[in-house]
Amino acid sequence: MATWASNISRFTDTHNGLFSISIRNHRQANTRRAKHNYNYMKSPDINETTNAQPSLQAGLEQDKIGCARQAEAKAGGEPAAGTPAGQSQTRSHMQMSRRAFLVAAGVAPLVVPRHVLGGNGYQAPNDKLRIACVGAGGVGEDYLTGCKSEDIVALCDLDHEYSAPVFAQHPKAKLYKDFREMFDKEGKNFDALIIATPDHWHYHLVMAALAMNKHIYCAKPMAHSIAEVRKIKAAALASKVTTKASIQDSRSSHSRATTELLLSGAIGPVHEVHFWTGTHSPSGLKRPAEAQTPPAGMNWDQWCGPSPARPYHNLYHYGNWRPWWDFGTGNLGDVACHTLHTYFEELEMGAPDWVAADACQAFSQAGTVSNYECASICNYVQWHFPARGKHPEMMAYYYDGGLQPPRPLSMPASMGMPGRGVMFVGENGVQVSAFYGGTPSVQDHVSPRPGQRIQGLPGGWLLPEGKFRDFKQPDPYLARCERVDHYAEWIQACKAGKKSIMPIELACDFTEFALLGSATLRRYSAPPPGTTPSLGWGGTGRSDSGVVWVEATGGGHVVVPGARPQAGVRTGEAYYRSSKVLTWDAKAMRFSNDEQANGYVDTAYRKEWDYKV
């Protein structure tokens, strides 16, 4: 444990110099590695047409061919253009390369040691990736299943009782409760780290993995605060390891169809983006006062880690931590990355200049619930973007808990709004697409089958229908990675020393956008700093400074009976709450008009668990 701690300390001291000597050595190794790399999988050729492509997993099962392909690349050759790895049409070409390689080497090994082909530390394509995981229970099981073709060498989870079924699936893996001990003892025995913990641990584990030159697969969102996101992005860009975010639909044929339809310009310049979904965790709750007993052998204090220590309660664990601001980022932080990958870059959504949010009030039989520490069950967030480049001024809107955007006037009465989805409002029309990308006419996560008749186009519905009746879905041209190949693509990228199709630095941009909304929701519901929340006016315990009190007009507004407006606001019979607009300075990474909100941009850590890097 001391060894790992000293390594982290050394990495901390040298971060401003863009990593330590070990990182520079890794760069040099990658330079040597590049001389030997072959094009194991060209991105533009991955799954070039919908529903007609071989699985990348099949490529992993044919790793014995990798030797010959590697030798061929070393000699200056390349796979035939447009031919995915492992297809039979390249077999005779590869057999010739294999014979030439064996003659030159004078031996006939099935597996060539990595140091022969690519220098120390090189991961030859026919080697198995050695993987460790922190957070083996929960979603960690899904991630590990996706990587079952590789060697799972070490698993860490604080709750061994909960994770026992996952451990049983990997009997050769060494088991740990403390990731620090695992890093100390297994640091030389694994190449890649899967991070499947709650949000509040992501930053520390990602930065530790980068310090150790480990490839990374990390659950989204990338971090718990915007400050953490910025640090992770800078560190990831400076590193040469392969990273990927757990956005399983990213770059799939259905998501790319939506992107390509949007980029076609059919609806013209976009002025509004609306995205909506349900609420996926128990929300709108008051922090439990009861202290329960944690599972046997579980270090609950370490589970809380850098966040405030809370008494154990099953409202947090198992799996219900997401809406609690201490540990999660709310429903918005959880789901936003799963839709933003389809249009975020294309619409240049990196720097909104203001954000506003509203959240519903929770109630119980006893009355109003003061749920300022837990995300509400129903939320509404707005982001404003000034004109940028070729894009006009734009608004983005998020809804959950059953809320949806207004139906566009051009939508026929016979057409229902998707239960969750995304809607682009342009100068010339409207595009309605599935939340994860694709058409709302089929179930989530898939493309229409060949020949399947659907309403609209594979990328979504274009409205008005009459105007776009003859409009055709653009031919596919963007690089693709099907959902079934999500994990295999990361594995192959790790072995080839390449970037994955969804590196964490890109996911950091999605996460920052989402966390701006989460921070604004927290501010809307927060009590004044240094005060004890009480039911008070309206029974919320919320701060007057987080909202704007507006005199009710009697025109149907929902009012707060007996509400007290802010000081300086003209009194009247009734007032209603309206969200305060928080102005955002992206360059300075702060809200320019609300210091309390800035407390959610960069949160403090408990000293004993503060692994700043």
The residues pairing with 429 across neighbouring beta strands, listed in sequence order, are none
Give the per-residue pLDDT at 366: 79
Mean pLDDT by 10 residues, the chain (613 residues): 45 36 37 32 32 45 41 39 36 35 33 39 71 96 98 98 97 97 97 98 97 98 98 98 98 98 98 96 90 95 96 92 96 98 98 94 80 92 96 98 96 95 98 98 93 95 98 98 97 97 98 98 80 48 54 47 47 55 97 94 90 53
* Residue closest to 542 by CA, chosen among 371, 335, 323: 371
- Bridging pattern class, strands 192-195 and 130-134: parallel
Give the per-residue pLDDT at 477: 98
Helices (H) and strands (E) in the chain, counts: 18, 19
Q: What angle do CA 208, 165, 169 make, to 5 degrees?
A: 75
* Distance from C-alpha of 213 to C-alpha of 189, rounded to nearest angstrom: 12
Q: In the chain, what is the straight-line distance between the N-terminal and C-terminal CA atoms, in Å?
A: 17
Give the per-residue pLDDT at 123: 54
Instruction: Tell me the three state secondary structure of residue 245.
Output: strand
CB 513 within 8 A of CB 226: no
The residues pairing with 243 across neighbouring beta strands, listed in sequence order, are 216
Residue 384: what are its φ and ψ, rounded to 5°?
-110, 135
Residue 378 DSSP code: S
Give the per-residue pLDDT at 577: 54
The residues pairing with 356 across neighbouring beta strands, listed in sequence order, are 382
Give the per-residue pLDDT at 550: 54
CB 393 within 8 A of CB 387: yes
Identity of residue 23:
I
Give the per-residue pLDDT at 76: 41
- Bridging pattern class, strands 354-359 and 379-385: antiparallel
Give the per-residue pLDDT at 305: 96
* Residue closest to 218 by CA, chosen among 444, 490, 489: 490
CB 241 within 8 A of CB 215: yes
> Read out DSSP for 149-205?
TSEEEEEE-S-HHHHHHHHHH-TTSEEES-HHHHHHHHTTT-SEEEE-S-GGGHHHH
Place of tokens 């070039």: 48
Report the predicted TM-score, pTM, of the whole model to 2 decimal places.
Answer: 0.78
Give the per-residue pLDDT at 608: 85
Give the per-residue pLDDT at 125: 57
- Classified by CATH at the fold level, domain 2-9+123-248+486-504 comes out as Rossmann fold (3.40.50)
Neighbours of 579 (CB within 10 A): 20
CB 612 within 8 A of CB 8: no
Structure tokens at 463: 């409205």
CB 217 within 8 A of CB 194: yes
Residues 6+ apart with CB under 8 A from 524: 357, 358, 359, 542, 546, 547, 579, 580
Q: Name the H helices within 305-383.
A: 330-335, 337-340
Residue 382: what are its φ and ψ, rounded to 5°?
-125, 135
Identity of residue 412:
P
Identity of residue 349:
M
Q: Name the H helices within 328-471.
A: 330-335, 337-340
Place of tokens 């922090």: 287
Neighbours of 134 (CB within 10 A): 24
Query: Following CA atoms 368, 370, 376, 382 in sequence, which dihedral angle do they give, to the nearest 10 degrees?
Result: 110
Residue 388 DSSP code: B
CB 475 within 8 A of CB 468: no
Domains of the chain by residue range: 2-9+123-248+486-504, 36-118, 530-580
Respond yes or no on whether the N-terminal peptide bond of residue 221 is cis (omega within 30° of 0): yes
